[in-house]
Structure 1
């Protein structure tokens, strides 16, 4: 959401992770890359991960439904939290993907309205908000 006079927020398309592989596994990956099956190591790893996610797709869908998890991008705005506070509500937010807490959300407002924040993925929030919610983030 872009407000008049502001630039849209550029969200990252991916999250960088680091993994450790055995020498033989890495060698196998290198052979597949050299033979043209994959463009590079990252392409192989992304494909392997997607295949495993697809292999467990039914189980993942059941878990998402059972845990009432939002999938994908969840943006938490100042307006949403202000409305929750006015209604006397505490939010229990569960997301598989990316959570973005708006830059104009204060630590006080977040503490007043977010009872729990479970993020399976990435959380982007102002540092003071992250610090204030540290004991509520899982």
Structure 2
């Protein structure tokens, strides 16, 4: 097992710590400490590249779920999932843009119809030749 792990991280023995630190970088240490129930100095150390103890890992997993394990142990899966989520969100956004354009077109058409005297008369049941 040691041989495999040495081979896996042969180029950078601190690869996993670096990934964890990168994942946690945007989170302020005090907030991280509150979320994983540790001292702010411990949170700073984890953010600085120190590997957390089991109790803190449980807090990290409880807080961030599968996102943190993917980011640290399977970053390629995390990237694929995020790309898929971005595509899905872009598709939803495009659908909403089309719906908005259709609604604006409809509203414009209705305003145009309301502006014509013969259409206004027809809407109240009076023919223009009466």
Q: TM-score range by the shorter chain?
A: under 0.3
Q: Name the one with the larger helix percent.
A: 2
TM-score, normalised with respect to structure 1: 0.20
Taking structure 2 as the reference length, what is the TM-score of the superposition? 0.20
